[in-house]
Amino acid sequence: MLDITGKQDAIAIKEEYQNALNYSHEKVKKKIEWLYGMNHKLKDNLALVQKYKKDIVADEEEKAELYATLNNLLVKETDFEKEMLKTSQKGKKNTKVTIKPKIKDSDVDDFRINAVQEYLEKYPEYASKSSFKKILDKITEVEKGIKDTKKKHNHAVSEVMRELAYWPRNLLEAEDLVKRFNEQMKEAKEKLSKMRYLKSIAYKLASEREKMKVNIHTLYYRIEEMENTIKQFKEEVAKAKRQDLEEMDY
């Protein structure tokens, strides 16, 4: 049958573009789902970094309190305070640590901790006393916990760094997919607008149902929402790089 109006040609062109748009839209949708997975993983590891950091701070505060208790016990039962005063007057800096290295990046008085450690090394009989040993054992336990937590903290940081390295490429791919969809939509509308049938009287007089047969259906496309989601992910990743990474080092 001769297609005098050009309607069948318009329908064929519309279907071709509709299928292409459906395919592109599905690609964008799957990419967004992938980004959601990446985002959850990134946030989980950022949360772990902060958790481990807080755990380390809490353990180091406990360690400082234990050393303060040990210090008070030494002052009470020994001539530790006089020994420490002599050391201070000589300007001696202790570099040999027998229990554990001094705490990095803490507010604890390192000199006092080193003095306690040096005194117990000089007079090991006190370290073996029940009252002292109990505190020293607890310090060893806390220090082990700090060491283990720092390993977990560093692993979580490395995971965050690794995940952040993947984001630029994936965000670019998502933006390119959206761009392709928008270009196809623009091309489809321009192509159809130039079709003979869509410029004819027959089209103008046709019912809405008939007009739908030659126009792109956009009801189920949510491309603007997806663009906003990509933009949000981009901002969150930039924030993670700018702020969270500055705070996560311990």
250 residues of the chain, pLDDT tens digit each: 447 788 999 999 999 999 999 999 999 999 999 999 999 999 999 999 999 999 999 999 999 888 888 888 777 766 555 555 455 444 444 444 444 444 444 444 566 677 777 777 776 776 677 777 888 899 999 999 999 999 999 999 999 999 999 999 999 999 999 999 999 999 999 999 999 998 999 999 999 999 999 999 998 999 999 999 999 999 999 988 876 555 666 5
Q: Tell me the C-alpha distance between 103 and 116, whole Å.
A: 14
Extents of the domains making up the chain:
7-248
Radius of gyration over every alpha carbon of the chain, rounded to an integer in angstroms: 35
Burial 66-88 (b: 16+ CB within 10 A, else e): bbeebbebbeeeeebeebbeebe
pTM of structure: 0.73
Residue 242 CA to its chain's centroid (Å):
11
Q: Tokens representing 213?
A: 């047969």
Other C-beta atoms closer than 10 Å to the C-beta of 228 total 11
